[in-house]
Structure 1
Amino acid sequence: MQEQQAHELEISGVELAAPAVILCEPQLGENIGMVARAMANFGLIDLRLVNPRDGWPSDKARSAASRAFHVIDNTRVFDDVESAVADLQYVFATTARNRDIPKPVIDAEQAAQEAMAQTKRGVKVGYMFGRERWGLNNDEVALANKIVTLPVDPTYASLNIAQAVLVCAYEWRKGATQNSLPFTLEDADGEPASKDEMNYFFKHIEEALELRGFFRPAEKKPTTVRRLRNIFQKANLTGHEVRIMRGVVACFEKYGVKRKGE
């Protein structure tokens, strides 16, 4: 029933099936909760636990999940890694240590690209993560198709398990959504100003500055005007912003300088 519920959950903005996340013998409920939160951030929903030390369900995990309850509630528990990956067809083993196992080693971005390519073919994919203290053992790594590692500082290669999941989930989401962002403010103030609007603005501000003796010495006026125009051209003003600027200039023209006490 839980498996069916997990697959029925919608992942906003993504059409591809999300990979599963397998945690091998996680020790702390808090870490499991933070993994669930990281998964929810980037649209992963299938969390599988292999022999969690403190059992399951976990109030500490739920508390640390920060409302990622759809992940927590559909988490499944397995007695061994073989059972946890049994229905998967392509598995990545994440590790920060060199292994005496002849497998391809790729980074998280490459893994995400391969995961998407596999899921487009209908292949079920999973990422396997090890214990907080010492990661995956060699037998577990041997079950994987490829090893995923990160370009960490080799003198301090240990990542919190939720951090490792976050990086992999981020790379997958970035690829699955073609790096689209959830929102943009580019159109907040409307369309870019037309050149006609800009030219009227330039004429307005230059006339106002001329009346106040801004262009001194006079022989440098053409250069100053060009630089002034360039400042506003680089700003890529919208039509609304140009109208605001013209209102500012008109305000100075009408009221001049207002001193304290006036």
Structure 2
Amino acid sequence: MSDPAQPVFVLVRPQMGENIGAAARAMWNFGLDRMRMVDPRDGWPNPRAVALASGAGRLLDRAAIHATTAEAVADCDFVLATTARGRGLTKPILTPERAMAEARAMSGQGRRVAVLFGPERAGLENDDIARANAIVSVPVNPGFPSLNLAQCVLLTAYEWRRQTADILPERMELAGTEPASALEVEKLAEHYEVRLSDAGFFFPDTKAPGMKLALRNLWSRMPLTRADVQVFHGMLRQLTRARDRGE
């Protein structure tokens, strides 16, 4: 079941079926499935949109088609308009991150939010933007500000998803093993300290304590797994065996 508080994404006068399908796919990548369209240029349904949706066809099946932007947002309480160009209208201009934070807050208050995306050729018209409460502007290269429809939808959907509390933080992916315990790291440090001492690494004696401390600190900084610890032990054993054999 999709998030009941999610915003409605409104594609205003989209031109190419391929871009509609790609926009649907981008929405569904981030758990959004409420799409509306205003007067799609090539009519509806559009087989090219279905082909590009690639598994997100359910959005297209359920998409509502409206004749005008006013009709498409009539039941919404807060409307955002995506545009890369200044339009001579006095409105707050938000980054996608800030806009979706606002949208999340509005949705949390039970208010329905809509995001308008303009047609590929020229974007939203002033008449569309005038119906919005705020503008969403992506900080792109000013010399080439135009974004593909699906790209803009994806950026916005991603920022909405980032506001979700259950998104996992950045983490280390462990491939079939567990993090090494403090004891295992300690034993590894001892193993290296003994072997390095035997090899005369800690020289001169006056610097040995500081060198050993630095080495211990190095091991503790490394996000070692149990498998990593075994590899380091094995490497050192093999090196010392080779030395003892005179290789």
- 2-side partners of 1:85 and 1:258: how far apart? 80
Which stretch of the first structure deviates more once superposed, 245-254 or 162-171? Answer: 245-254
Cα displacement (A) at 1:82: 1.6
Aligned-pair identity in percent equals 38
Instruction: Find out whether 1:29 has 2:31 as its counterpart.
Output: no
Cα displacement (A) at 1:169: 1.0
Instruction: Find out whether 1:226 has 2:232 as its counterpart.
Output: no
Q: SS at 2:41's partner residue?
A: coil
Task: Output one character per residue of 1:80-137: Cα deviation in whole Å (capped at 9) or x when no partner.
Answer: 1122112212111111111222222222111111111111111111100111111111
Instruction: Find out whether 1:106 has 2:94 as its counterpart.
Output: yes
Q: SS at 1:176's partner residue?
A: coil
Retained in 2: the 8 A contact 1:215–1:224?
no
Q: Identify which of 64, 67, 75 aligns with 1:76.
A: 64
Q: SS at 1:22's partner residue?
A: strand
Which stretch of the first structure deviates more once superposed, 32-41 or 77-86? Answer: 77-86
Question: TM-score scaled by structure 1?
Answer: 0.82
Retained in 2: the 8 A contact 1:16–1:176?
no
- 2-side partners of 1:134 and 1:259: how far apart? 75
Change (3 A) 1:243 1:184: closer
In the alignment, what sits opposite 2:147? 159
- 2-side partners of 1:246 and 1:182: how far apart? 29
State the one-letter code of the partner of 2:92: P
Task: Output one character per residue of 1:219-257: Cα deviation in whole Å (capped at 9) or x when no partner.
Answer: 354443333323222213245543443344344455657
Change (3 A) 1:226 1:185: same
- 1-side partners of 2:171 and 2:30: how far apart? 15
Cα displacement (A) at 1:192: 4.3
Structure 1 residue runs without a partner (length 5+): 1-9
In the alignment, what sits opposite 2:75? 87
Change (3 A) 1:199 1:177: closer
Question: TM-score scaled by structure 2?
Answer: 0.87
In the alignment, what sits opposite 2:186? 199
In the alignment, what sits opposite 2:121? 133
Instruction: Find out whether 1:61 has 2:49 as its counterpart.
Output: yes
Retained in 2: the 8 A contact 1:16–1:116?
no
Change (3 A) 1:111 1:91: same
Cα displacement (A) at 1:28: 0.3
In the alignment, what sits opposite 1:6? none
Aligned residue-pair number: 246
